[in-house]
Amino acid sequence: MTKMIRVPDEYHAWVKAHNRDDETMFETLRRLTREPDPEALAGILSSDEVEEARAAAERFGGRDRERWKRAREAFEE
């Protein structure tokens, strides 16, 4: 199924400017909005930086779980 979305002209121009000759607009959007391939990042961070990033992700995820729990409890009352 195909869906149409409205975007500002400036955003469309930005995506179009990043469009490669062999890509559809969908492929360009997908490439621009996805996380990088983990193999492309190999060797960029030190072991200490990787551990710091993991710890930060765990702290962030924990806050998110707590927010969901509080929201769920609020609706149950």
For the chain, domain boundaries? 10-43, 45-77
**Whether the Cβ atoms of residue 43 and residue 26 lie closer than 8 Å to each other:** no
Cα 68 to chain centroid, rounded: 20
Rounded CA separation 66/9 (Å): 39
**Pairwise pLDDT comparison (17 vs 47), residue with the higher score:** 17
Q: Is the pTM of this model over 0.85?
A: no
What is the per-residue pLDDT for 61? 66
pLDDT band at residue 18, thresholds of 50, 70 and 90? very high
Give the C-alpha distances (Å, rounded to integers) separating 19 from 36, 38, 43: 17, 22, 28
Average pLDDT, the chain: 83
Closest CA relative to residue 32, chosen from 24, 6, 76: 24
Two structure tokens written together for 18: 């990043």
